[in-house]
Amino acid sequence: GAGVSQTPSNKVTEKGKYVELRCDPISGHTALYWYRQSLGQGPEFLIYFQGTGAADDSGLPNDRFFAVRPEGSVSTLKIQRTERGDSAVYLCASSLNSAARADTQYFGPGTRLTVL
């Protein structure tokens, strides 16, 4: 079956603009995660959803970042007033059940965001 998909694969924007990054999880996966990977670093957790609700958004860096998952499937990460420091690869992952600590997370290919 299809894996996790993310669109766009690359996004170039100007400082101050608004961007939306989309994630399509594996069908049937109730848990969805967003991570951010800066150059030369490991991914860092941003937020995760269990169904439609954000169960943990402790990794969002500030209130310019927001994510939704209105129907419990597709998720959109929204960044307002982008800054050059937001440039990174944004990764999405899904798993069957987030309550299971050892549940395998399947990652998408990422969206590379560049803020000029």
Partner 1 sequence: AQSVTQLDSHVSVSEGTPVLLRCNYSSSYSPSLFWYVQHPNKGLQLLLKYTSAATLVKGINGFEAEFKKSETSFHLTKPSAHMSDAAEYFCVVSAGTGGKLIFGQGTELSVKP
116 binds partner 1, rule: CB under 8 A: no
Q: Nearest distance from residue 22's CB to partner 1, in Å?
A: 15
Bridging pattern class, strands 75-79 and 88-95: unpaired
Candidate list 26, 67, 88, 91; residue touching partner 1; CB under 8 A: 91
Q: Which stretch binds partner 1 (CB under 8 A): 13-21, 68-76, 78-86, 88-96?
A: 88-96
* 2 lines the binding site for partner 1 (CB under 8 A): no
Q: How far is the CB of 81 from partner 1 (least distance, A)?
A: 26
Query: Would you call 23 helix, strand, or coil by DSSP?
Result: strand
Q: Residue 89: phi, psi to the nearest 5? A: -100, 125
Phi, psi of 107 (to 5 degrees): -100, 145
| Cα–Cα distance measured from residue 111 to residue 11, given in angstroms and rounded to the nearest whole number | 7
Q: Does residue 111 touch partner 1 according to CB under 8 A?
A: no
Q: How many CB atoms lie within 10 A of CB 36?
A: 21
Residue list 28-57, contact with partner 1 (CB under 8 A): 31, 33, 35, 40-45, 48, 50, 55-56
